[in-house]
Structures are given as structure tokens and as C-alpha cells.
Amino acid sequence: MAGGSKLSPALQALVDKGLFDRLPATFSTFFFEQMQDWETLFPAERNYHERLFTLLDRSDPAMVEGLFEPLRRIEQTMGVNEKNWPRRHFTLDQVDFLNRSPRYPEWRKAVADIFARLDPLLEDEITRAGHSRLVVVIAPAELPVGPDRMWLRIRQHGKRIPLEAPEDVGDYLPLLLTGAGRKDAASSIAAKYATKGEAYDAWAVEAGGSLADAGAERVVALSYERLRDYRARLMSEVRHIVETQEVRGPRQLSAKLKDLKIRASEGDVSRDPVLAEFARAILLSGNGTLLVNNTFVEWSTVQAVRRARPSVAIVSFGIRNKIKPFSSLLIYADQDTTNPIPTQMDTLGTYVDLEIFYQYIWQEFEKYAEYRRNTAYLFVGEGMDELLAIAPPDFPLPAATKPTKLAEVFASMKDWMNL
Amino acid sequence: MFALSKRRFIQLAGLSIANRIVPNRLCGAAKQASAGRKVIIVTFGGGVRYAETFAPEGLRNIPRLVEMKPRGLFFRSCANAGVLSHYNSTASILTGNWQRVDDFGFQPPASPTIFEYYRKATGAGPTDAWAIATNKSFSMIGAGSGRDLGQPYGPNLVLPKQLLLEAVQGAAAKNADAGVANRENVLRHLETILSEGYEGVGWTIFKAGRQLDRAVRETLAHALVEYINGPEAPSSGDELTFFIAREVMREFAPRLMLVNFWDMDVAHWGSYSLYLQAITKTDRLTGMLWEEIQSNPSYKDKTTLLILPELGRDGDINAANGFLNHRSGDASCRNMWMLARGAGVPAGDIERPVFHVDLAATAGELLGIKAGEMTGRPMREILS
């Protein structure tokens, strides 16, 4: 393998016997390129690749040929050849080639059709090995609305549960996530699960930095706030690259960004190469993850679901700051330092932003067989006296006639996860 | 302090009241051009979905368009069947052919634009065709790569945001403590840019003669300084684009103009509220552009305004990340609307699907010129 990254023996054997060379170029090259970074892939990704290509290898060759025949035909009409599509190299040039092809919509459909046939087979295995999963999505206390205006896009899928909120709002999240008050500093549900789960199986993604305190070593803790030094350096370096015109355009910029890895002093995730690369990719994905705390939280969560398939995910949003005059022109500038106007919270804007993010996050989990029919989603607003639960019927949250205590919610989550 | 800076700016930039007076031959060109039908194409842009505009739940974001619609011709389905990048989408609108060139503006369109056809067919001068674009990668969008037409027939092209960006970046880089919100600071750098030259910092003014370039530049630069100092100081690229477009209309009264709005692409930042705010702002600016048409004698009753998004954004269901992006190719990305309003345009709702490439062909017919080969077809409903 190029790049010095070693595949699993099973997958390497499939490469050696020429499986990838027998598949259509646009399909095999994409996956081959992804596998180049084998050592920075999550176990769930490795497992997926192995299952996918093992399935193709063990299937009837005529059936495989028939499955890929429409894609081959479209590749021909697109003019895919060895020159514009070198085997085993998938770069932004190939993305560009696809995007600009008049046949791109047909190509997308052909690929979607292939997965429409493969996914049910692959998902069967997943479903058979299914287990309970838990997702807690927390909105910040400063939102200017009550629970009656929360989760409007998804509430029809779940049930609003009345809560007995503690007098001290500072105890709200500790009671919910640990079952005890702040002063007890008990282990969180994520930390408890992490001790028995696999690596990368419990995640805490947050805009602030409070969840990480309650975490344990095996919880993947990603905090926008705690990555501040890394973010600042990335913005500075990207701005330097762009301003000094070291790159011609986004494609060249993308190659340069690959080298901007997190340093040991910039965050704990630097200790784990898989997470270090994950953080780099999240922050430099081209969207607003460098600039907007909640975009970081949403995109990190979506990517964690796609790539790592965690069993427990605690997702905590914050309040976004108001965008300052002129700052929209400075994409890679730290607004706090380049603009002397005091930073102000945008609580109403945050509320609007989060309403759609709740939907996106819930939808993303539900795309995957791992989560369907066995995941409890609890949408919580810090300090609020209601939560929204979207969960299978056997999730043990009381069918409350009176408000439920947060410690009881914690106990239900613990039961659900067999802890 | 403010006035002092402004005076100093004007001195340094070499601007004076005398320079505000447009050379006679410019005035002549503007008058001559005003004789015929005028066309203004507005890309309601940066990527916006039906869901946030003319879908029932989106109407609250676009009060000005809603107000304009009953007296305009509304095409319910105007589809982008091309590449879903801003540059290729807008270039398709301008050329009448689906463009598949570099997404980031490093290549001119592969076929001639309506600007080229118009100027070639009528012999119109460079001040009679303008493109004003918030998207700063649009410097090559005005003219195609063909040999027969090309740059000599292209429009005057202004990238106001790039101009301001240079100033803001200069201010931020050289005086980080004071910050970019310090307007004095920004102005100082704007001065430097304007006095140093404009190529590469936001201006691709047609080179029909150095004297003409200077006159055009100075006229607009002066107005820009007034604007930035004034009570309606811009806070976004689209506001700047609107302002430059209005100045161009007042000073040069071109017959053909593209106004490219783009700020709603802030959606890439992942803030739905900022995206909605940008839509509402673009709606307001489009309404103000219509007001300018109505109040400007060079435009009133002789102008057709064509408003459309150049592309949508990914749908909320089963897309990569919904409104943040616009590459999935789903219906939410491709299916948009088009609103025509103005001289000779009947009121109504049109069910017949039309395409982005039909815009250039329609503009050609409105201007009374014979354009070259185009995939798009004139929208007969507008022309009848």
C-alpha cells in the first residue's frame, strides 16, 4: 500500500488477488484511496471495508458483473480512462471530473443503485449483532424559549417527558449524565459505558468544555473550546497560505491542509492518531467548523456517526456569538482578536440554528442499521422542565404522570445500556 | 476625525469633484443606450432552496419578492441541469449553454456570454454592459474563451467585495490591536488600494482606453468612499454590490447588467439563522433595485428584471448535510424559480418548466439581438 499504511491481512489478500482491478474504476479507486489511510480509520470503517469487499469477493462473479454493469456503461460514456482516472489514485481532480461531467446525475444514480442492493446484505449482519444505543443532545441554558418551542422539527417522532428540574441549574447536567449532583463528581453515562465498550464507542462532543471533565480516558472527548489553540493556529496558517498565494485554488489548498496536524500541546486528541486526524479533517472540512461552535458540534457528531458508529453519544451545543461587521469577509480570522467590538451572544440565532441541527443529527443516526429500532434519543435543554424522548417502546423512561427526576432519567439510560 | 480622514482619502486617491463629472462621451453613450429595452439579470444568489423562498413556509423570508410577484411573471420551475457550482451555474445563465469549466473561476466560460453577443450585435460601448458580482471568483465570467468574440466584447466587471476585502485584510494585518471594525483603519487601506491600482483587487474594467478606465474607476471609487462613510454603511458584500450596481445605473445607464448577489452562501458556515438573514437581506436589496428601476428615468418602463437563484442547496432529507452544501444534485439543489418583472412582462404563474440556460436566449430576444448557438430557448411567455 502506498503511504505506508498497512491493510488488514484479509483485505490485503483481496487487493493482491486483483478484486479492485476487476471493479469499475470510479468505484474501486474511491475505496482504495480511502483505505490508504487505514491506520487512521476507525474500527467501524475498517470493518465496513472488509465486509463490503469480502461480500463482493465471495459473491457469484456473474452477479457482481451484473451489479456493476450499469456503472461501467456510464463510465464509458463519461470518458473514464487510465489517463484521467489512474487506478488507485482518487484526488480532488477525480471529484472535479465527476462534478463537471454531464453524466454525473446518472453516475450518482448508478452508484446509489449498487448500494441499494449491497446495503441490505451488509446491514443484515449488523442488525443481527445489534444492541442498545443512546444519544443525548443537550441545548444550552441561555436559549430564549421554553420547551413548548423546542424540537419543533422532530417532536412528532417522540414524546415530551415532564421533568423535575433541580433548584441549582448547575446540578442539571451532572444529575442527568451521572445521576448525582455536581459536587459528587460521579462518572458519566458515557464514561461508564466506555469502560465496557470497544474503543471509540462512547463520545462526548461539545461546544464548551464541561463534559470532558466528567469523562474517562476511553471516552472520545471533542470540545470546540478545548481545541482553541489548534483552531487559532489553523486559521493563522490557512490565512497565511491564502494571502501569500502559495496555492492556486481550493484543490491545491486541500493538499496543503493535510499537513496541518494537531500538536501535543493543542489537545488530548493529539495522543491518538485516529482522533488527531479526525479533528484535523473536521476543522478543515471547508464548512464553518473553525468559526462556529455549533457547526463544529454538529459536523463532528455527523462524522462520528458515519465513521465510528458510537454506541453512546453525548452531544452538547453552546451559544453562538454574533457575527461582527466585516468579519464575514475574513473567513480565516479570529473574530475575537481582529475586531474590538465586544463579543455578544446570539441566543435567538442559536435557537434557530439548533432547531435544524436536532433534525440533522437524529436523521444521520437513523440512516444506519446500527441505530434503527434500538436507539434512545433524549433531547434536553439545560434547565428545562421537559425533554423530548424518541425511543423504542421498551426504553424504560417512566410513562410519567408526574415530573420525572433527572436522576431517574439517568437510571433509565443506565438500564437501557445494561450498565 | 471622520471628515478629516475622508478629505485626506480623497486627496490621496486623487479624486476630486472634477473627476465625478463623467466625460462627455460617456454621457453620450449612456443616452444613446437608453433608447432601447434594458435587461437586468439578478442572481438571487449564493444558493437558496425553494423551501426558504417560494415554498409556503419560506414566504416570510422574502417579503419584497412576494410583493413583486403578483405583478410579475413567475416561473414555478426553473431548473439548473448543469454543474452545481456558483461559477458554472452563473456562467450557464449568461451563456445559454451548460458550462462545465473550472468550478473556481480559473477559466472563462467555454462559450460566448450574452454580453458579447449584445455588444457585437449592437456596437454598444463598454459602459453599456456591466457585471457586478459579490462572488470574488467571478473575474473571468463576463466573456467566453472563443476567438471570435471574447474579452473585447465583454462587460465591465466589478467585484466590490474583493475591493473591500483587500482593505479589511490590510487593516487587520497591519493594526491588529485596533481591529477591523475601526472604519478609519479600513479606509486607510482602501485609500492605498485605490491609489495603487485596481487590477487584481476587484476590478476588471474593460480596457477600451486608459482614460476611460480611470474615469470609470474614479467615479465609482468616489461614490464608494461616500457610501462607506455614510449612514448606510455596508455590512456585507451584497450591500456593496447593490450600491455599485445602483451607481452604475445612475452614471452609465447600461442596457444589459448582471447583478450577482452571493451572501446567502454563508450557509456553508452551518448557521441556519445567518442563512435566513442573508436571504431576507438579498430580498430587501432586490426590492431596492426594483425601486431604483422605477425611479430612474433611464430605466422606468423600459427595463425587464429577471430574478433567479443560480442554484439551490441540498435537501434536509438524506443529503450530506442539508442546507450547508449544494452538491448532492437532488431536486432541492436543482429546482428553482424565476421571476420576471418590468416592461412588457405580463403578470401570471407559469407551470411550464424552464431552464437556467433559457435566460440568455430570452435576454437576447428582449434586447433585439441575434445571439449565437445556445442550448437554451427564449421564454416565449415573457416575450409575448
Taking only the tens place, the pLDDT of each residue in B20-53 is 223 333 334 433 433 589 999 999 989 999 999 9
pLDDT tens profile A265-312:
999 999 999 999 999 999 987 678 988 999 999 999 999 999 999 999
Closest CA to A129 of A41, A38, A47, A14: A47
- Three cell numbers written together for B3: 471628515
Residue B32 pLDDT: 43
Task: Give the C-alpha separation, B320 to B368, whole Å.
Answer: 44
DSSP state of B356: T
Q: Is A27 left (phi over 0), alpha (psi -120 to 50) or beta?
A: alpha
Least confident of A248-257, A335-344, B122-131, B192-201: B192-201
Please give the pLDDT value at position B203. Answer: 46
CB neighbourhood size of A96 (10 A): 17
Query: Where exactly are the structural domains of chain A?
Result: 2-128, 133-416
CA angle in degrees (0–180, nearest 5) for A289-A295-A297: 100
- Is residue B283 within 8 A of residue B63, CB to CB? The reply is yes
pLDDT at B214 over 80: no
Query: Do B93 and B376 meet the contact criterion of CB atoms below 8 Å apart?
Result: no
pLDDT at position A266, please?
A: 95
Say whether B273 and A328 touch across the interface (CB within 8 A): no
Can you tell me the distance from the alpha carbon of A197 to that of B165, in angstroms, rounded to the nearest whole number? 50
CATH level 3 topology of A133-416: Alkaline Phosphatase, subunit A (3.40.720)
How far is the C-alpha of A32 from the C-alpha of A26, rounded, in Å?
10
Hey, which residues does A321 pair with through a beta bridge?
A345
Nearest CA-CA distance, residue A250 and chain B, Å: 8
Which residues of chain A lie closer than 8 angstroms to B266, CB-CB? 328
Name the β-bridge partners of B132.
B158, B259
Residue-level pLDDT at A45 = 95
Of B180, B271, B316, the CB nearest to A349: B271
- The ipTM of this complex is 0.91
Q: Is the pLDDT of residue B11 over 60?
A: no
Per-residue b or e along B16-33, where b marks 16 or more CB atoms closer than 10 Å to that residue's CB: eeebeebeeebeebbeeb
In whole angstroms, how large is the CA radius of gyration of chain B?
20
Residue A134 pLDDT grade (very low, low, confident, very high; cuts 50, 70, 90): very high
Contacts of B315 (CB under 8 A, 6+ apart): B49, B51, B322, B328, B330, B331, B332, B333
Between CA B313 and CA B331 the distance in angstroms is 9
Residue B103 has pLDDT above 50, yes or no: yes
Asked if B329 lies within 8 A of A104 by C-beta distance, the reply is yes
Q: Where are the alpha helices (DSSP H) in A163-313?
A: 172-178, 189-196, 210-213, 228-243, 250-257, 273-283, 293-308
Residue A361 pLDDT > 70, yes or no? yes
Closest CB from A105, A287, A325 relative to B268: A287
How far A27 CA sits from the closest chain B CA (Å)? Answer: 17
Determine the residue of chain A that is closest to B240 in CA distance. Answer: A326
CB of A381 within 8 A of CB of A147?
A: yes
Three-state secondary structure call for residue A60: coil
What value does the mean pLDDT take over residues A345-373? 96
| Stronger pLDDT, B192 or A180, i.e. the higher one | A180
**By mean pLDDT, which of B60-69, B315-324, B353-362 is the weakest?**
B315-324
Q: Is residue B208 very low, low, confident or very high in pLDDT (cuts 50, 70, 90)?
A: very low
Q: Within 10 Å of residue A112's Cβ, how many Cβ atoms?
A: 9
- Distance CA(A186)–CA(A311), nearest Å, equals 20
The angle, 0 to 180 degrees and rounded to 10, between the axes of the packed helices B210-229 and B2-12 is: 180
Report pLDDT for B136: 78
Q: Which CATH number fits domain B2-383: 3.10.450.50, 3.40.720.10, 1.20.120.350, 3.40.50.1820?
A: 3.40.720.10
- What pLDDT is attached to residue B17? 24
* pLDDT band at residue B109 using 50, 70 and 90 as cut-offs: very high
Contact B172 A338 (CB under 8 A): yes
pLDDT given for residue B194 in this prediction: 45
List the domain boundaries for chain B: 2-383
Contact of A326 with chain B, judged by CB distance below 8 Å, is answered with: yes
C-alpha cell at A42: 476507525
Are A246 and A256 in contact by the 8 Å Cβ rule? The answer is yes
Grid cell 441549582 is found at A168
